[in-house]
Amino acid sequence: MDRHLTEGSIRRGIIGFAIPIFIGYLFQQLYNTADSLIVGNYLGENALAAVSSNAAFIYLFVGFFMGFATGAGVVIARHIGADDPHQTSLAVHTTVAMGLAFSVLVSVLGVAVTPAMLRWMRTPPEVFTESCKYLRIYFAGATGLVMYNMLVGILQASGDSRHPLIYLIASSLVNVVLDVLFVAAFHMGVEGAAYATVISQFLSMFLAAARLMRLEGSIRVVPRRVRFDPDNLRYIVRNGLPTALQACVIDLSNLLIQSYINSFGNLAMAGIGASTKVEGFAFLPVTAFSMAVTTFVSQNMGARKYDRVRGGIRFGLLCTLVTIELLGVATFLFAPQIVGLFNRNPEVIRFGRGRTQVCALFYCLVGFSHVASAVMRGLGKPMTPMVIMLTCWCAVRILVLFTLGQAVHDIRLAFWIYPFTWALSSAVYAVLLKRIRVDRLEAA
């Protein structure tokens, strides 16, 4: 049942793998955005701010553990490329065991620290209570999200991006229906939006688990075999920990930026929160091609097909840059109308439009940085993107906030800090990619 990306057309292999991921994450983004759209239109600006401004806090927790899912995918793809079913099976069951452990940690820590984190983020009093309710429900049900990502990572490492698409479509439709039912019909407030999200995430988790338990072959999950294999655990941690730390500290820097945004009040929180939802749609091709490139490079490195590795890198970068920049131009042109879908308050639209139009034309820099980072992980060099992202996207942002941000209280600083740091990381990656040679690939 394992699909190898080590044979056939490079273009068809990458595009065929990326398209289902793109469509799947499109539906996932739709159901995430459905919370904000329905809440913003039915419950008002404060509820919209409570739901849409918490992404950085959520990803601070969840993103750390998802880094290990990425590392596990690299390891499983390497074993598949090397045609080693025994090690593949051990890595698969180790990944499931890690997912179960991480689910408990995310739920317990998330629920426990939510009030303190919201106070640290300077969340306005009129938003605090609803933000706390939403986040505590979300984290209490985080098992669905964490386990789904771990299980789908196994499927995608084997070259299967079609079934995760089906599961995301199903969960997205359920989420939208439940949002309308809980928020608009039953008047459950932000708690209804949180319950809708949690239920839909558990649905996608169960569908992925059922698929893996029915499969034949090395990626089949057998519950009684779920345990930690020491060698594969070390291999996964070596590949996943740098990505996890990278995600964690970048999300921490975004949390600091969100705290700075919160100081401008609930209308700024609502408008910029809507802008980030719009941005999430534009970044979907980046996510899809990054995952496709990581899997493609990992499998072909395992098979020692270095010409295909180089070809895949070039094609993945080209597709990403063209697609994301076209979306950036469209987002720039229609920013007011798109942000206005979330809330019609002129001030909310002004804040959302301002951020969107500053960042949109620089989306190509995000695409380049993410795919270059995916290439490094696929080559078995996860420390490289970790160092680059920690320096450019974390340290620089924190430095700017604690220097210029303390001297100048201007919302435009929260807008421009993103393109500035995207440009820094892109410059470093451009130099690095030029230096990659066959001998370095062989040594990876």
In a domain, 330, yes or no: yes
Q: How many helices (H) and strands (E) does the chain have?
A: 19, 0
In a domain, 5, yes or no: no
Say if CB 67 and CB 241 are below 8 A apart: yes
CA atoms lying within 13 Å on the CB side of residue 391: 13
Say if CB 126 and CB 92 are below 8 A apart: no
Give me the count of residues in the chain: 444
What local confidence, expressed as pLDDT, does residue 379 receive? 86
What local confidence, expressed as pLDDT, does residue 150 receive? 92
What local confidence, expressed as pLDDT, does residue 289 receive? 92
**Distant-in-sequence, close-in-space partners of 408: CB < 8 Å, separation ≥ 6:** none
Domain of 265 in residue numbering reads as 10-443
What local confidence, expressed as pLDDT, does residue 205 receive? 95
In a domain, 4, yes or no: no
Angstrom distances, CA of residue 283 to CA of 362, 364, 367, 368, 428? 12, 10, 8, 11, 21
CA distance linking residue 414 with residue 418, whole number of Å: 8
Say if CB 366 and CB 283 are below 8 A apart: yes
In a domain, 2, yes or no: no
Say if CB 359 and CB 407 are below 8 A apart: no
C-alpha torsion 316→373→60→327, nearest 10: -30
Contacts 24+ apart (CB under 8 A), 330-336: 331/278, 331/279, 331/282, 331/356, 331/360, 331/363, 332/356, 332/357, 332/360, 332/361, 335/275, 335/278, 335/360
CA distance linking residue 199 with residue 196, whole number of Å: 5
Residue 126: count of CB within 10 angstroms of its CB = 13
Per-residue tokens: 344? 């019609």
In a domain, 220, yes or no: yes
What local confidence, expressed as pLDDT, does residue 241 receive? 86
Q: Residue 297: which of 48, 102, 70 has the closest Cα?
A: 70
Angstrom distances, CA of residue 134 to CA of 48, 191, 336? 11, 6, 27
Please give the radius of gyration of the chain, using alpha carbons only, rounded to the nearest integer.
21
Domain count, the chain: 1
Residue 280: count of CB within 10 angstroms of its CB = 18
Burial of 406 (0-12, 13-18, 19+ CB in 10 A): exposed
CA distance linking residue 135 with residue 154, whole number of Å: 28
Tell me which residues of the chain have a pLDDT lower than 50. Answer: 1-2, 438-439, 441-444
In a domain, 426, yes or no: yes
Say if CB 78 and CB 302 are below 8 A apart: yes
